[in-house]
């Protein structure tokens, strides 16, 4: 499903160049739940964004379903991303002026598809069937993350990328959100790529890819 080949990415801060990805390679199979781990600053989020077509590598390539995503023009890459991928973020990234139903419908709206009935059913599946008309500030952190899970799945993508999805939640809500995400991924046969700094959470996946010194240094 996802193949990274010889990825290089560096940043220049003042006169200093920091190499974040240094010839990194990995392969993620369809339907896998893979956690990207490593110390702070190791490049976990940079790698996730690069795999998702959001941050172009300075060298190397990413293939998804056999297609080189950085070989596509910008518009075509965005369309491919919108069709193939869903995203969940630590800070939920909900639009404050939109209701839970409207936020969860954003991805289908971008795709030009009316899917209110399907999105409503998905929000009911994540336990928010009675909160459709609530704004984000009327929802708890756990409820907001459930909305973002529904939004990520609403357009039926093949891959879900999640960047520290439980980072703002307490342990009980963290486990509930992960249980829900894993259950929905299994039901819908989705590939999960999750960034986390928490080794206890990472143990719940099929594999752990540890990023250190710009490469995948071990797999478990």
The domain of 114 spans 31-58+73-219
SS3 call for 211: strand
- Residue 47 within any structural domain of the chain: yes
pLDDT at 219 over 70: no
Q: Which pLDDT score, from 0 to 100, does residue 118 have?
A: 87
User: Mean of the pLDDT values across residues 72-101?
Assistant: 94
Domains: count for the chain: 1
pLDDT at 220 over 60: no
Q: Which pLDDT score, from 0 to 100, does residue 116 have?
A: 79
CATH, residue 91: 3.40.50.300
- Residue 15 within any structural domain of the chain: no
- Residue 190 within any structural domain of the chain: yes
Alpha carbon of 110 to those of 12, 127, 176: distances in Å? 34, 24, 29
- Residue 213 within any structural domain of the chain: yes
Considering the entire predicted model, what is its pTM? 0.92
User: Mean of the pLDDT values across residues 43-50?
Assistant: 93
User: Mean of the pLDDT values across residues 129-137?
Assistant: 95
CB 79 within 8 A of CB 69: no
Contacts of 123 (CB under 8 A, 6+ apart): 100, 101, 104, 129, 131, 132, 146, 147, 150
Q: Which pLDDT score, from 0 to 100, does residue 218 have?
A: 64
Q: Are strands 33-37 and 191-195 parallel, antiparallel or unpaired?
A: parallel
Per-residue confidence band for 217, with pLDDT thresholds at 50, 70 and 90: confident
* Nearest by Cα to 42 from 68, 19, 59: 19
- Residue 8 within any structural domain of the chain: no
- Residue 18 within any structural domain of the chain: no
Q: Nearest-5° angle of CA 64, CA 114, CA 143?
A: 75
């Amino acid at each position: 499903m996802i193949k990274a080949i010889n990825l290089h990415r560096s940043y220049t801060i003042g006169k200093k160049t920091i190499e974040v990805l240094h010839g990194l390679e990995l392969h993620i199979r369809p339907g896998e739940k893979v956690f990207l781990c490593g110390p702070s600053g190791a490049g976990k989020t940079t790698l996730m964004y690069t795999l998702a077509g959001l941050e172009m590598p300075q060298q190397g390539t990413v293939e998804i379903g056999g297609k080189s995503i950085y070989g596509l023009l910008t518009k075509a890459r965005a369309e491919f991303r919108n069709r193939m991928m869903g995203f969940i973020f630590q800070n939920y990234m909900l639009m404050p002026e939109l209701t839970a139903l409207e936020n969860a419908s954003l991805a289908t709206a971008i795709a030009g598809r009316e899917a209110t009935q399907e999105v409503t059913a998905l929000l009911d599946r994540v336990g928010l069937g009675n909160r459709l008309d609530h704004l984000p500030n009327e929802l708890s952190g756990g409820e907001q993350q459930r909305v973002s899970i529904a939004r990520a799945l609403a357009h039926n993508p093949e891959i879900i990328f999640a960047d520290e999805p439980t980072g703002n939640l307490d342990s009980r809500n963290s486990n509930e959100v992960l249980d829900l995400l894993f259950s929905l991924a299994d039901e819908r046969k989705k590939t999960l790529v999750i960034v986390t700094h928490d080794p206890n959470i990472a143990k719940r996946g099929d594999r752990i890819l540890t990023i250190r010194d710009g490469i995948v240094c071990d797999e478990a």
